[in-house]
Structure 1
Amino acid sequence: MGPGTLVHVGDKKVKEPILTLIEYNEEYLEVHVNQDIDIIKNLEFAEDRKIWINVDGLHQTELIESLGEVFGVHPLVLEDILNTTQRPKTESYEDYIYVTIRTLFYERLENAVDSDQISIILGNNFILSFQEMRTDLFKKISQRMERPAGNIRKKGVDYLTYSLIDSIVDNYYLLLEDIGEEIERLEDELIKEPDPATLQSIHELKREMIILRRSLWPLRETIASLQRDESGLIKESTGIYLRDLYDHSIQVIEAVETYREMLSGMLDLYISTVSNRMNEVMKLLTIIATIFIPLTFIAGIYGMNFDYMPELKWEWGYPAVMIFMTTISVIMLYYFKKKTWL
């Protein structure tokens, strides 16, 4: 297929796409859920109103293509939106900015990190956002929009773009908190009683951290590209917020690197713990074997089948040998304990 061919690449995560249209300014707010694309084509947007269209579900390529025609989005951008394997990036075009970023969720039961792609198109007076499935990620932003005095209603769509990305980055902190709790649990298992299942959990979590790092590492450059944008779509007042968002992205990346180092250290700790347990077992077996060496020697001597041995015909020979063997065992146990070998 040629460049710009629209094909959905990824899983179908919703039955039917949900299209939400929000028109707003400081005095006006109107929300249309499951808005028909034909109505949007014929809708005349007021110049003093800002538009936010959110699409949950990407498998209907006709819907994405129609939105691209309405807002003049290049087919290559639409192709990237439908290909849900994109790495985070920012691309500037003549009339809009395209941003793709990944939102991450930690599945505690499966000990795995799941990710969804979110694409954002920032235009002169509109913003388009595309999600693979419907989530509560932008719910708080919708609630903030209901307050006329809030910054989202007062400021432009560039501030709304910042708010959407900030919501995604904030969700990373929740993800890292869940992963941190899992790492603490694994550390407790390592100290108390590690087993092969613990080792498997560490390997799985370490593999997920690699996926997490691959999704988050480009985030810093994505936000930095928005700060450096010269298209005029991002105002200087919003640049202050983007700098703060850039700092948050660095904190998230540093936390991921810290967790990766902790997991590597936990693998070493597991090997050391298992080796120490094996050493304790070997020490105990060695002590037992050492105690039985003289006892076996004595039993071997009196087990020889010679006719003329001094103690064989002695009435108290057996009790004397048993007492002697017991005395040797007690003396050796006392010596080992005094040396803290036991």
Structure 2
Amino acid sequence: MAKKKDVQKRHFRKHKKVGKAPGTITYMGNREAIETKVTIIEYTDNLHKIHYPGDIEQIVAHKDTPTTSWVNVVGLNDESFIEKVGHHFGLNTLILEDIVNTQQRPKIDEYENYIFGTFRMLYINDKNELVGEHVALVLMQNCVLVFQELDFDVFNGVRERINAKSGRIRTKDSDYLFFALLDSIIDNYFVVLENVGHKIEALEDDLYENPTPEVAHNIQQLKKEVLKIRQWIYPVKEIVNRLIDSESTLLSKDTKFFLRDALDHSYEINESLQIYREMAMSLMEMYMSNMSNKMNEVMKVLTIMSAIFIPMTFIAGVYGMNFVHIPELQWENGYFLVWGLMILIFIGMLIFFKKKKWI
């Protein structure tokens, strides 16, 4: 019943926007709504401030400052607030629609005054479960807007680098901040894939030791997880390629040089993902093969036992017939002789099977 309800919820979310005009801001999240919070990190090579703005005006004030600003919006369920932020920053309504659409496929769009991208921020939670969080990045002249579903993210490394008094990021512009955030998302894919590799190794061990139906269920879940990861990660390679080839003045040549490193990581991730995908697909084949081998072993034992008892059954059947004149029935030691013959047949067949290496 719980699974049926989950399917119904997914079906409902999928059709929330049916019939609505393009650009309609409709939150497509499937998680409990959290309060929308905004944090702004403002910095230069000799300045570092963290702001917690209380209204839209304080947020928009960082749009055209000479410093570099990272405007981080957590919580996408407040559609009116997202619309206000987008309006004051001059974002297209189609962009705002994609920001709150948590089912949006990763993509990149270039506009005259900004570059917009949506990604899947993947990480492993405390329960060792995969979390795919929707995140949207907007690169502008002096600031980067980040919209994310949950309070947790993979950007702590970037925050620490900004907080440090020395480091490249403090001397660079907003385009380098955009790269650093994107690079953090990509680098965390390695952590997720490493977790997938551990799961595959554990399932392989289970397959060899005890291939139960529960193991088969875990394999199916892993296959679904790998396909999800592939759906979220695969487009990133093309996105980084487009950024490198972009003619937008918002991206400097220096930043494009660093984006090439992110592109190399994307290729490596996609290659590893392809390997894990094939390994996950082969696990079910291994399971079926092991189950078939176990069945063959059982059938082999039953066949050998049947072959051993067939001649004994024949002997017992002959002397169990209700004829009056069966000469051997009159023998004084006939019973013991028949038993001896059957034991000899049993031992002889065991020796024969052993020599043939059937047992």
**Residue 162 of structure 2 corresponds to residue 149 of structure 1:** no
Which residue number in structure 1 is paired with residue 9 of structure 2? none
**Residue 298 of structure 2 corresponds to residue 281 of structure 1:** yes
**Residue 45 of structure 2 corresponds to residue 32 of structure 1:** no
**Residue 155 of structure 2 corresponds to residue 104 of structure 1:** no
Mapped partners of 1:167, 1:114: distance in 2: 16
Which residue number in structure 1 is paired with residue 10 of structure 2? none
**Residue 206 of structure 2 corresponds to residue 184 of structure 1:** no
The within-5 A match list for 1:115-264 is 115-264=132-281
Mapped partners of 1:305, 1:328: distance in 2: 25
Q: Per-residue deviation at 1:14? A: 4.8
**Residue 74 of structure 2 corresponds to residue 56 of structure 1:** yes
Mapped partners of 1:155, 1:182: distance in 2: 40
Q: Per-residue deviation at 1:45? A: 6.4
Mapped partners of 2:61, 2:108: distance in 1: 29
Mapped partners of 2:44, 2:161: distance in 1: 13
Gaps of 5+ in 2: 1-19
Structure 1 residues 10 and 264: alpha-carbon distance in aligned structure 2, compared to 1, 3 A threshold: same
Superposition TM-score, scaled by structure 1 size: 0.95
Structure 1 residues 229 and 340: alpha-carbon distance in aligned structure 2, compared to 1, 3 A threshold: same
Mapped partners of 2:296, 2:60: distance in 1: 78
SS of match in other structure, 2:29:
coil
Which residue number in structure 2 is paired with residue 65 of structure 1? 83
SS of match in other structure, 2:290:
helix
Gaps of 5+ in 1: none
Q: Per-residue deviation at 1:64? A: 1.2
**Coordinate RMSD, CA, aligned:** 1.7
Mapped partners of 1:319, 1:340: distance in 2: 31
Which residue number in structure 1 is paired with residue 41 of structure 2? 22
Q: Which structure would you say has the larger RCO, counting Cα contacts within 8 Å and 6 or more residues apart?
A: 1
Mapped partners of 1:51, 1:290: distance in 2: 83
Mapped partners of 1:102, 1:42: distance in 2: 26
Structure 1 residues 198 and 171: alpha-carbon distance in aligned structure 2, compared to 1, 3 A threshold: same
Greater displacement, 205-214 / 175-184: 205-214
**Residue 54 of structure 2 corresponds to residue 8 of structure 1:** no
Mapped partners of 1:161, 1:126: distance in 2: 9
Aligned-pair identity in percent equals 41
Superposed CA offset, 1:194-252 (max 9, x none): 01111111111112211111111111111111111111101000111100101101111
Greater displacement, 87-96 / 310-319: 310-319
Mapped partners of 2:343, 2:201: distance in 1: 49
Structure 1 residues 257 and 311: alpha-carbon distance in aligned structure 2, compared to 1, 3 A threshold: same
Which residue number in structure 2 is paired with residue 298 of structure 1? 315
Which residue number in structure 1 is paired with residue 108 of structure 2? 90
Q: Which amino acid aligns with 1:262?
A: M
Q: How many residues align?
A: 340
Superposed CA offset, 1:126-174 (max 9, x none): 1100000011411121111112321111001111111101111111111
The within-5 A match list for 1:293-332 is 293-332=310-349
Mapped partners of 1:240, 1:280: distance in 2: 60
Structure 1 residues 107 and 335: alpha-carbon distance in aligned structure 2, compared to 1, 3 A threshold: farther
Superposed CA offset, 1:43-78 (max 9, x none): 376743111100111011122122112221111111
SS of match in other structure, 1:311:
helix
Q: Which amino acid aligns with 1:243?
A: R
Superposition TM-score, scaled by structure 2 size: 0.91
Mapped partners of 1:158, 1:42: distance in 2: 19
Question: Any conservation in 1 of the 2:60–2:88 contact (CA below 8 Å)?
Answer: no
